[in-house]
A and B are shown apart, each in its own frame.
Chain A
Amino acid sequence: ISTSLNPLLFISVLLEISRLLNTGLDMESLSICVRLCEQGINPEALSSVIKELRKASEGLKVRINKYCLF
């Protein structure tokens, strides 16, 4: 089945790939990432950013959780 007509379908392929790789990206984040990459952002940097952000959010959650315990 040729999907070249539907430009949106590639995103679902990418979503599939990202699901396979267990990246944790949801649809919107993925699409943002795609845009960024298409615009020429260095994927290394981008991935490191994402990771940092994730860890930050985790940390915050923990903190919040910790605080919530009290």
Chain B
Amino acid sequence: MAGLDQKSPNVLLQSLCCRIMGKSEVDVAHQFQYAVRVVGSNYAPTIERDEFLVAEKIKKELVKQRREADAALLSELHRKLQSQGVLKNRWSILYLLLSLCEDPRKPPVRVANYAALFAQALPRDAQSTPQYYCARPQSLPLSYPDRTQSAQSSGSMGSSGVSSLSIYATNGPTPTPQSLLPGQTQGMGDSLRQQLSSRLAWNLSAAAPSVPTSTSRGLANSVPRSVPRSRREGDTGSGSVEISESALVRDILYVFQGIDGKCIKMCSSESCYKIDGKIAISKSLRDITSRLAELGWLHNKVRKYTDQRSLDRAFGLVGQSFCAALHQELKEYYRLLSVLHSQLQVEDDQGVNLGVENSLTLRRLLVWTYDPKIRLKTLAALVDHCQGRKGGELSSAVHAYGKTGDPYMRALVQHILSLVSHPILNFLYRWIYDGELEDTYHEFFVASDPTVKTDRLWHDKYTLRKSMIPSFIAMDQARKVLLIGKSINFLHQVCHDRTPPGKIIAASKSVDSPKDAAELFTDLEGAFQSNIDAAYFETSKYLLDVLNKNYHLLEHMQAMRRYLLLGQGDFIRHLMDLLKPELVRPATTLYQHNLTGILETAVRATNAQFDSPEILKRLDVRLLEVSPGDTGWDVFSMDYHVDGPIATVFTRECMSHYLRVFNFLWRAKRMEYILTDIWKGQMCNAKLLKSMPELSGVLHQCHILASEMVHFIHQMQYYITFEVLECSWDELWNKVQQAQDLDHIIAAHEVFLDTIISRCLLDTNSRALLNQLRAIFDQIIEFQNAQDTLYRAALEELQLRLQFEDRKKRLQSEGEWGVTAADEQVENKRVQEFCETIPKMRSQLRILTHFYQGIVQQFLVLLMTSTDESLQFLSFRLDFNEHYKAREPRLRMSMGTTRGRRSSYM
């Protein structure tokens, strides 16, 4: 082949002609001339000398023909070729091959016309150059009325060829409107210009659209952007660069993505897209461009948000799903843009031969981007609204936007909402069904405090993070949710109950996909609510069952009542009996173990022994702090140990309340006890002391005072036992039986204790009352002491007198003087002394009585003015016969005034 290399192009051409025509050299003279002419005139290639581009085009062509495997093969071959490095102009030969490429699927070309064409088209005279060979874009007249006419008027070009030009495969996007737009004629002028200069490649091959692409693309590329292709009415004046609409279209397509175009740039001061002022453009175009540029602005806004947020590490799952949703929407938008781009590309490929009716204009863009614009507007508004929010707040913000009447916008927002709340629902379901909380970014509305230990788990560990509650979850639903998870955790950690939650809740659903979430939101009232309710009901019931069966919560509550609140009467009485001699001693001499032993004795001797050992082992004696001068009575207290889950209900505070109440009740009981003793003493000694008539006055006083005191204490006890303890206990018990969850029980219990404390005058408001009561109790003790001394003295005196009488009798019986004068004198003296002490006693008692009554009256006054109704009723009972009222003018007045006052606010 070395010979061939040195041959001149002409020679080669000739041999090529021979080859193709299949004839000898002589016969191909015409063709040879023609070939030489063509080659000579079109010397400079108009396409890019880019091998890569050409190779890509070849591949595209193959793909278009659906021969992907061949495309791969081609890449392989091309690589091989490149590696060989022999050829200098690889692009050239590749281009040639491409242009000669024929799609095997295409129908065979029509042959009939070619002869006629050929006969016409090739002049014999080798010198004459037909018009078209020298055609340059600018030199041709512009206006042609329509295509077919222009075809004919170009005379020697051949009619059929041009008409075949009308067959263009427009592979533009499907929404291409077919209407003819104004300015078509100018566009046609363009198309003709194009076709004239590339006619050779075009004609006769209507079935090979791939061919025109090569040459026309080259031509299209050669046309610089700023060359005016069409002129619209009302064009601008001279002196400024003119922009064609297609250039604007190109720019706009860039602006749609947020990239500055050649003419339309982002003006950051006004934060909008503006057309360069230097460019002359008609007002209507400017307007349309501005309207279209808004889309780019909206896109930028959304894009900026998603880009910023993707960098934010602490944005959390909800925020990320929001960004993902926005991304999806943007992808759709980009898809539209790529469709538009490809439309533009097709136009370029085939020249503007498509005619304006199929080309991309600003107006067309306006129509096509109308829907996306609405969408982007909604997204941008959402982005604005959701700035700076995350977690549940974010989903609330999105939800708020869903409350619109526009169904299109509502559907969009609903879709985004379902994506955004998917993580929240995941959190929710995990929390409800497993009690697990994995919330690194603090997005969920249940917050867990890791510093809290197990004993305070129920009360302190889990709280509601109110800001993160989404607006589609009501407050009480949120509380229920908190409770459910809390219960599960409580069961696991405090009750050590490892039952898998699957057993607790029979039918549990988990949100597997955003679709479920979307379903939930369309049916917020139904499934979602019922899920939560069912979970709540089951979990709480289970928890209460565990507490009652395994930990005997209710039994302990009853035990508290019996022991700490002195419910078990016989036991308390016996205990007091046993403890009495111990407790009168000074407090410092008491030992706990002694007292515990006594406690156990009491337990064994009474009905308390039939209680379960679980309860009995928790009973204990506790000695309070000793202040100087205290007797045992002041420091004695009982205790009930609680631990584990029970301690959640009976917290330390509750226990301290219980102890205070116990103290109070114990004291009151002691008073009762004392008075019983007094009464006993009185009954016993009355008979005995009948023989001492001088004492009768004193004794009478004693009796009266004692009765008053008894009445008082009696009423107090009644009040405490029935109005305070029994009623509250009844309420508590009812509530506890009906309780649906542990919170109810805890709340009811706290209410119970609060009521008791306030009614037993132990709260801070009733301090005055309590002091009065204490004073009364002290008086009673005083009285007891006084009475004791009185009786002791009286009985001693009686004893002595009896002795005297006895001695008298004895002596008489022995025959002596019963009573000597000296004896009698001594006796009389003694009796005299005794009788003298009586007034002292009497006055003492009188003072005591007076004092006592004063205190009681003050007490009554305080009771009257208290706000608690039951205390007011107590005052009535205490003074049922208005005994005190008669003596105390203050009482009279205060009763009247307070009565009036009371009735005003009753």
Interface residues of A (CB under 8 A from B): 2-4, 7-10, 13-14, 16-18, 20-26, 28-29, 31-60, 62-63
Contact = CB atoms under 8 A, between A and B. Distances in A.
B43 interface: yes
Give the dominant DSSP class at A's interface. helix
Contacts, number: 179
A47 B96 contact: yes
Given A32-B12, A42-B39, A44-B214, 20 more contacts: A4-B84, A16-B77, A21-B97, A22-B101, A25-B97, A31-B1, A32-B19, A36-B9, A36-B16, A44-B46, A44-B99, A45-B42, A48-B38, A50-B100, A51-B201, A52-B31, A53-B31, A56-B21, A56-B118, A57-B21
Contacts of A31: 1, 4
A50 B43 contact: no
Contacts of A63: 115
Nearest to B39: A45
B218 A44 contact: yes
Nearest to A1: B80
Given A9-B84, A49-B35, A42 B45 contact: yes
Contacts of B102: 21-24
B73 A14 contact: no
Contact of A44 (B4, B31, B95, B97): B95
A43 B96 contact: yes
Interface string B301-334: 0000000000000000000000000000000000
Contacts of A57: 20-22
Contacts of A16: 77
B58 interface: yes
Contacts of B85: 4
B26 to A, nearest CB: 15
23 contacts: A4-B83, A13-B81, A13-B84, A17-B58, A17-B77, A23-B97, A23-B101, A23-B102, A24-B100, A28-B19, A29-B19, A32-B19, A33-B93, A37-B93, A41-B39, A44-B45, A46-B96, A47-B100, A49-B34, A50-B16, A53-B21, A56-B21, A59-B118
A37 B99 CA distance: 14
Contacts of A20: 62, 70, 73-74, 77
B12 A36 contact: yes
Contacts of A3: 80, 83-84
A29 B16 contact: yes
Please indicate which of the listed interface residues A8, A16, A21, A32 has the most CB atoms of chain B within 10 Å of its own CB. Answer: A21
Contact of B97 (A2, A14, A28, A48): A14
A63 B99 CA distance: 27
A49 B20 CA distance: 11
B20 A50 contact: yes
Given A21-B101, A23-B97, A58 B114 contact: yes
Contacts of A51: 100, 201, 205
Given A4-B85, A43-B95, A55-B204, A22 B9 contact: no
B92 A35 contact: no
B111 interface: yes
Given A48-B38, A59-B114, A59-B118, A40 B100 contact: no
A35 to B, nearest CB: 6
Nearest to A5: B84
B200 interface: yes
B674 to A, nearest CB: 121
B101 A38 contact: no
Contacts of A21: 58, 61-62, 97-98, 100-102
A46 B205 CA distance: 17
Contacts of B46: 44
B464 to A, nearest CB: 71
A62 B201 CA distance: 22
B78 A17 contact: yes
Contacts of A54: 20
Contacts of B815: none
Contacts of A39: 9, 12
Nearest 6 A/B pairs, CB to CB: A47-B99, A23-B100, A37-B92, A45-B42, A21-B101, A43-B96
B133 to A, nearest CB: 10
Contacts of A37: 89, 92-93, 96
Nearest to A3: B84
A47 B35 CA distance: 10
B20 A35 contact: no
Contact of A43 (B31, B35, B92, B204): B92
Contacts of A23: 97, 100-102
Contact of B16 (A4, A13, A33, A55): A33
A51 B483 CA distance: 85
B87 interface: yes
Contacts of B93: 14, 33-34, 37, 43
A43 B50 CA distance: 13
B111 A62 contact: yes
A41 B42 CA distance: 9
